[in-house]
Amino acid sequence: MTWFEAKMFCDRKGSSMIVPNSQSEHDFIWHEFGANKGNNFGLWIGCREVYKADTVCSDNNNNNLQFKNWYQDQPDRDNEECIKMAYKFGGKWGDTICTLDEFAACEMSVPEPEYCLTAEDYGRFTPQCLLNHDIKNLRATGVIGCGQACWAEPRCHSFNIWQKGKICQLNNASRLQADVANFKIIEGCSFFDL
């Protein structure tokens, strides 16, 4: 697709054209998408040249990035405003006209997990846990450690903390998915939705 088609395709909520923020990210992108594709391969990145060689990049976090990885003697022409990583540039950046068809990739930020402790109608947090939906039990240090273990397990939708945060029980159901009969008030146990 052209650079503008790629930008339109990638510009969705939480998504943008891929933009390397560091040398290690640049190397990862090139290794994943272009390193073995041959001498005609090019990959658009979310950067353009504007105002005579001032480079503007936009991703989910920044509008002007400090990292740039130009190939020697690039940028080289005033009428070439769009930037790509290309085999002919040794995997580095080069400017070209925006209407060429090249490959494109989108990137998204990974959201931080959120944990919800549900209160009863009168506002108190009662010590209740979800039973009969456990995937596995493990040792974890508190809500954060257990939440991270749940986040890493694809089948996990909620977790219980037992024994003052020492035992983490991962569950395969959320509060909305589980039968209300499976929730029991148990002293020393707290339930969290992910």
Residues 18 and 82 in one domain: yes
Residue 31 forms part of a structural domain: yes
- Encoded tokens for 55: 């480079």
Residues 94 and 172 in one domain: no
pLDDT in tens, 45-74: 998 876 655 667 765 554 556 788 888 888
Residue 10 forms part of a structural domain: yes
Choice between 163 and 21, residue whose per-residue pLDDT is larger:
21
Q: Terminus-to-terminus CA distance in the chain, angstroms? A: 38
Domain boundary among 54, 75, 108: 108
Residues 17 and 97 in one domain: yes
Residue 119 forms part of a structural domain: no
Residue 121 forms part of a structural domain: no
Residue with tokens 């041959």: 38
What's the chain's average pLDDT? 82
Residues 63 and 133 in one domain: no
Neighbours of 77 (CB within 10 A): 11
pLDDT-derived band of residue 156, with 50, 70 and 90 as boundaries? very high
Residues 91 and 171 in one domain: no
Q: How many domains does the chain have?
A: 2
d(CA 81, CA 43): 15
Q: What is the pTM of this model?
A: 0.55
Beta strand pairing status for 42-50 and 82-86?
antiparallel
pLDDT-derived band of residue 84, with 50, 70 and 90 as boundaries? very high
Spatial CA neighbour of 168 closest among 189, 193, 188, 139: 139
**CATH classification at residue 58:** 3.10.100.10
Structural domain boundaries enclosing 173: 128-193
User: Which of 53-57, 144-148, 156-160 has the largest mean confidence?
Assistant: 156-160
CA distances to 54, 68, 78, 147 from 51, in Å: 6, 17, 9, 47
Encode 36-71: b = buried (16+ Cβ within 10 Å), e = exposed. eeeeebbbbbbbbbeeeeebebbbeeeeebeeebeb
Residue 135 forms part of a structural domain: yes
Residues 87 and 140 in one domain: no
pLDDT-derived band of residue 6, with 50, 70 and 90 as boundaries? very high
Residue 90 forms part of a structural domain: yes
Pick the range with the lowest mean pLDDT from 3-7, 25-29, 139-143.
139-143
d(CA 42, CA 25): 17
Residues 24 and 92 in one domain: yes
Choice between 7 and 110, residue whose per-residue pLDDT is larger:
7
